[in-house]
Amino acid sequence: MSKPRLDPVSEQAIDWMVRLRADTPSAALQERFNAWLNMDPAHAQAWARLHERLGGSFNTVRALDRRVPGQTEHARQLLLQPQGSRRDALRVIAGLGLLGGGLWLGARSPLGDSLLADLHTGRGQREAFNLADGSRLSLNADSAVDLHFDDQQRLVILRRGELVIQVAADPIRPLRVRTAQGEVRALGTRFLVAQEQEATRVVVLEHSVRTRLFDGSERDLQEGQAALLYVGRIEPLASDQRHRADWLSGRLNVLDDPLEKVVDALRPYNRGFVRVAPEVRDLRVQGVFPLNDPERTLTALAETLPIRVDRYSPWLTLIRAKPDRQ
């Protein structure tokens, strides 16, 4: 019995995802991708289906291909089947002997983070947890953390997303939150930590914290202060950032952020893939928007900014410049 093949459009979508994720895409490559995406509605549907099935990341499948070349085609097909499920795909991946291994952990897929994390939230879900030490941990949508609490330490590892924690006092075991860039040590406090693409955002809501990079660099932050932690530096932020914790009550409070950052904040609440065209990414946005209704928020943005929001399906939304009227 011959192995079923992917349809040509799905194969093209996979090829495009590999090209776009291989490195920082050039403007010419991005233009060719946009042309392909707009050429046929089937292209947009295939792209949205692929992005959704892979949970927003192709890194896992590419890593599997490097480990066992040619043996993951069935998993790729399963991910693209209309009736397929992530559970079925995980069964295939587990059958390859990779689930729980270092390669899976290194792939850093959103699905892997959620499955392996101690605490996590799904898309559009916020949740608060009472920790064993009496601290109160709140997770924004699509977030995941690991907990390492014992007689010597209280360590929270933020694997993805955003948290706010109200720390219970313990002079013997100061609570630390670790991210990809460094650590935040609580000094009896309430604070926000967000893992962004290339930095960690820290906002002190009460009292103070000590931020520390892995190279030993440190900086204390007081109530109302904020900073971005990069691999090689700690960058203090001049403006008050405490409004960024408004997601706790379901609000996105934007004072003066680029459109791209606003859309990034909506992604954990949006079921599908949202792409922002380069020419409108830096448009400045102000306002308070509902997180639980991202479509309503995008509609409101289209009414106040020179943009158009095109929804090709529940799984694909494109935001681009509004055409000039003659």
Q: Helix or strand or coil: residue 62? A: helix
Per-residue pLDDT of the chain (326 residues; tens, 9 = 90+): 444 445 678 777 777 766 665 545 566 777 788 788 888 888 887 777 666 555 444 444 444 444 334 444 444 544 444 444 444 444 444 444 433 433 333 344 555 555 567 899 988 999 999 999 999 999 999 999 999 998 999 999 999 999 999 999 998 899 999 998 999 999 878 999 999 988 999 999 999 999 999 888 999 999 999 999 998 899 999 989 999 999 999 999 999 999 999 999 999 998 888 999 999 999 999 999 999 999 999 999 999 999 999 988 778 899 999 887 54
Q: How far apart are CA 182 and CA 252, in angstroms?
A: 26
Q: Which domains does the chain have, with CATH numbers?
A: 8-116 (no CATH), 120-243 (2.60.120.1440), 250-321 (3.55.50.30)
Nearest to 201 by CA among 176, 237, 172, 173: 237
CA distances in angstroms from 7 to 49, 168, 206, listed in the order given:
13, 55, 55
Helix (H) or strand (E) holding 116, with range, is helix 110-116
Q: How far apart are CA 270 and CA 301, in angstroms?
A: 15
pTM (predicted TM-score): 0.67
At 192, list the tokens.
């926000």
Strand ranges, E, within 167-292:
175-178, 182-186, 190-195, 200-206, 208-213, 218-222, 226-229, 234-237, 251-258, 273-276, 284-290
